[in-house]
Chains A and B, each alone.
Chain A
């Protein structure tokens, strides 16, 4: 590589040769993938606690029958905001943050392909969530129609309505820009000789996720735009009186919403596919079939949307089609789980915190998968639909699924970011507390749903009291456990732990372990030599 080419790149990308800018400018005008990754992760953590606080308001009210703390209107605002914040503010930005930090380092690129767009896509987020949170103080309160925003109910939202739509638009813009950046980086900036199939699984799952994002976030934007025009500009896309159909919104929403579910889980699949081989001291079993499985999950996610709406009134053939398609998703998902188990098989396992979270992921995500399978069976789904069984199901996929994936990734790469080890003992305590409380919180919800408790209700019949109390205790325990996480990360970043080596773990695979810890501000300014085996995990 000639030096002329290097400087071309630098002038175009950021012009910072010697390290970060000073003070606030470093963050406000950040173009360095590591800085932006850090901002995404910190923002996501903030949102995780905001959304978590709302969850605790919900669980506190539901601790015992009778209304004690909040009014039903406010309760509905909490369920709606909790979901919007967790989905768009906590889980998705966390994965984008991980992508920003790790993808360039894993493919041997000096930075993301579009650094300036990277800056915008991050800074849109605080604006979007600032707007969304401000609706809590507006006349009529925050949106209270559920994160699914079904009309006509959502049209009864007070002054918050246009702000809700606008903030969803902004979140969409941010995700789409982030996704474009990730795709261009992966396609264009891989180290020479790194073929697509040689890429690490985390990069692969993110590539698929990014395509999903570009395909469906605009569809959500379209759906909420139609809500806006229905409300203010006299159209009737979703109003029966003008020849529209409220159910059409549900079809469009879930055309976005089901791929969205996989957007939130595929990167976590990638994370555990990195971690399990490292701590099993064995290569990932079936790397290529993992890629095919993730791709087929992504493809199938486009043809199963109506399984969210089996009670809406659908022709029999439609119900049958969506049932079969949904059952089919169990096959590639099963392949992934079996491959992880086969990776552990005959390994030499150790159980550091990232591995514990990954194992927790495999166990508990699989339980979420089982309830997903049950939900696919239409006659049974008619009973489960909109009950706490569904709440249990998607929290099993999202909390010990996506969020454990994020936790595992954080522990796995934190020494690389910070240059110090985190406190392993505290990490393990954090895992066990999280794993226990997540089950205490969400397992009883299966029973509540089967016994007939609908979701999104502020008060319930006395027969549901016991399990609700247990779930509330679990939720508070889970919330408190996460404070420990903040403490562990804080101490590690401050430099309290042992100094981390470049490899951090016992002979891990992947280019990120070939750079020193902490990773220098600029890495891979010269592309690394990739020999096939070292690149993927």
Chain B
């Protein structure tokens, strides 16, 4: 009675349902979670990501509210760069368009590719920090010993939470030479 034919049929279909569930869970982990996490980060500013790119420059409408903007720079894994911001900090009118520059120098005798990764702290400020132009949008090629001054143009929008009075924009310089070469090889 327990193992009748129809029961075996039921067992088989349940087995396949469970297999499908496991495959679904794998797909969820592998295909759904990463993009979901990106969206989540963009919305909450988790990790201080600033993927915000302002495409349309409206008339700058300054609000009179000011915040202190600080710059910090790091070079990852002792990569052969000297990298720093040209000013330590600036006072920024919320809603205004600003530009500042960073300078990097290739300390090696080889040409290298750098990728700058921006991060904004506190994270709640990240989505209100909008970049019009940034050297972090693409990777930067440096020939041997080349020094470059690289601009960032940005707006801090007026929705910045009222409790924030200091914002830090930080860049980490990664050596992306291998990654870039691989991409070139792949496209060729």
**Is there any pair of Cβ atoms, one from A and one from B, under 8 angstroms apart in the complex?**
yes
Write the residues of chain A forming the contact surface with B, with a CB cutoff of 8 angstroms: 1, 5-6, 8-9, 12, 108-110, 113-114, 176, 179-180, 183-184, 187-192, 214-223, 225-226, 234, 236-237, 240-243, 245, 247-248, 251-252, 255-256, 313-315, 317-318, 527
Complex Cα spacing A223 to B27, Å: 11
Is the CB–CB distance between B123 and A313 below 8 Å? yes
Chain B residue with the shortest CB-CB distance to A312: B47
Report the minimal beta-carbon distance from A200 to chain B, rounded to whole angstroms: 17
Contact of A222 among B18, B19, B30, B49 (CB under 8 A): B30
Say yes or no for B90: interface residue by CB 8 A criterion. no
In Å, the complex CA distance between A216 and B175 comes to 35
Known: A180-B22, A241-B179. A114 touches B34 (CB 8 A): no
Residues of B with C-beta under 8 A to A314: 46
Q: Collect the chain A residues with CB atoms within 8 Å of residue B47's CB.
A: 245, 247, 313
> Is the pair B4, A5 in contact by a Cβ cutoff of 8 Å?
yes
Selecting from B8-16, B55-63, B93-101, the interface stretch reads: B8-16
Complex alpha-carbon distance, A219 and B37, angstroms = 14
List, in ascending order, chain B residues with CB within 8 A of A315's CB: 44-46, 123-124
User: Is B91 close to A, CB under 8 A?
Assistant: no
The listed residue (B2, B5, B14, B26) touching A218 by CB distance below 8 A is B26
Q: Which among A113, A234, A241 is the interface contact of B115 at CB below 8 angstroms?
A: A241
User: 8 Å CB contacts to A: which residues of B143-188?
Assistant: 172, 174-176, 179, 182
Contacts of B108 in A (CB 8 A): none
Given contacts A234-B182, A240-B174, A245-B47, contact A188 B10 (CB under 8 A): yes
Instruction: List chain A residues, Cβ under 8 A from B7.
Output: 188-189
Q: Is the Cβ of B1 less than 8 Å from the Cβ of A527?
A: yes
B11's closest neighbor in chain A, by CB? A188
User: Can you add 4 more A-B contacts, CB < 8 Å, to A240-B117, A313-B48?
Assistant: A1-B1, A215-B25, A219-B29, A234-B182
CA distance A317 to B122 in the complex (A): 14
Chain A residues closer than 8 Å to B176, beta-carbon distance: 241-242
Does B25 lie within 8 Å of A183, measured CB to CB?
Answer: no
The answer on a CB contact under 8 Å between B37 and A245 is yes
User: Does more than half of chain B's interface fall in helix, strand or loop, or is it mixed?
Assistant: helix
Q: Across the interface, do A225 and B30 meet the contact criterion of CB distance under 8 Å? A: yes
How long is the Cα–Cα vector from A225 to B48 in the complex, in angstroms? 26
Q: Is A109 in contact with B2, judged by CB distance below 8 angstroms?
A: yes
Residues of chain A contacted by B29 (CB below 8 angstroms)? 218-223, 252, 255-256
Is B103 an interface residue when CB atoms closer than 8 A count as contact? no
Return A85 CB to nearest CB of chain B, in Å.
23
B21 within 8 A of partner (CB): yes
Whether B87 is near chain A, meaning CB under 8 Å from some CB there, is no
B160 → A minimal CB distance (Å): 15
User: Which A residues touch B3, using CB under 8 A?
Assistant: 5-6, 8-9, 110, 189
The reply on B134 being an interface residue by CB < 8 A is no
Measured CB to CB, the nearest residue on chain A to B41 is: A245
B4 nearest in chain A by CB position: A5
Considering only residues 28-50 of chain B, those with a C-beta below 8 Å from chain A are 28-30, 33-34, 37, 41, 44-49
- Chain B residues near A215: list those with CB within 8 A: 21, 25
**Is B76 in the interface zone, CB < 8 Å from A?**
yes
Set of chain B residues within 8 Å of A12, measured between Cβ atoms: 8
CA–CA, A241 to B115, complex, Å? Answer: 6
Closest to A187 in B: B14
CB distance from B184 to the nearest CB of A (A): 12
A188 to B41, CA, bound (A): 43
| 25 cross-chain CB contacts under 8 A | A5-B1, A5-B5, A108-B2, A180-B18, A180-B22, A184-B18, A187-B14, A188-B14, A218-B22, A218-B26, A219-B25, A222-B29, A225-B30, A241-B76, A242-B115, A242-B176, A242-B179, A243-B117, A245-B41, A245-B47, A247-B46, A251-B33, A255-B33, A313-B123, A527-B2
On chain B, the residues within 8 Å of A251 by CB distance are 33, 37
With both beta carbons as reference points, the residue of chain B lying nearest to A252 in the complex is identified as: B33
B124 touches A248 (CB 8 A): no
C-alpha gap A225/B26 in the complex (Å):
10
The docked-state distance in angstroms from the alpha carbon of A164 to that of B115 is: 30
| Chain B residues whose C-beta falls within 8 Å of the C-beta of A252 in the assembled complex | 29, 33-34, 37
Which residue from chain B places its CB closest to the CB of A315 in the assembled complex? Answer: B44
Residues of chain B with a CB closer than 8 A to A9's CB: 3
B2 A219 Cβ-Cβ under 8 A: no
